Amino acid sequence: MTASAISSLSAPAGGARQAIKANARPSSGFDAKLEATRALLVQAAAHPGAGGVTQASSLGAEDVVITHLINALALDIPVFVLETGALHRETLALLERTEATSRAPVRVYHPQHEQVIEFVRREGQDAMYRSLELRKQCCGIRKMEPLARALAGRSGWITGLRREQSNARADVPAVDTSEVASKGLTKFNPLADWTWGDVWHYIAHHDVDYNPLHDQFFPSVGCAPCTRAISLGEDFRAGRWWWEDEAAKECGLHVKAA
Distance between terminal CA atoms of the chain?
A: 41
* Residue-wise burial string across 47-56, b where 16 or more C-beta atoms lie within 10 A, e elsewhere: beeeebbbbb
Q: Which residues pair with 157 in a beta bridge?
A: 54, 187
Q: Is 187 helix (H, G, I), strand (E, B) or coil?
A: strand
Concerning whether 71 is annotated as a catalytic residue, the answer is no
164 is in an annotated binding site: no
State the catalytic residue, choosing from 251, 253, 257, 258.
251
132 is in an annotated binding site: no
139 is in an annotated binding site: yes
23 is in an annotated binding site: no
Please provide residue 32's backbone torsions phi and psi, each rounded to the nearest 5 degrees: -70, -40
d(CA 182, CA 55): 20
The amino acid sitting at 117 is I
* Other residues' Cβ atoms within 10 Å of the Cβ of residue 188: 25
- Kind of pairing, strands 53-57 and 79-82? parallel
* Other residues' Cβ atoms within 10 Å of the Cβ of residue 233: 6
Catalytic residues: 251
The binding site consists of: 138-139, 223, 226
The binding site for [4Fe-4S] cluster consists of: 138-139, 223, 226
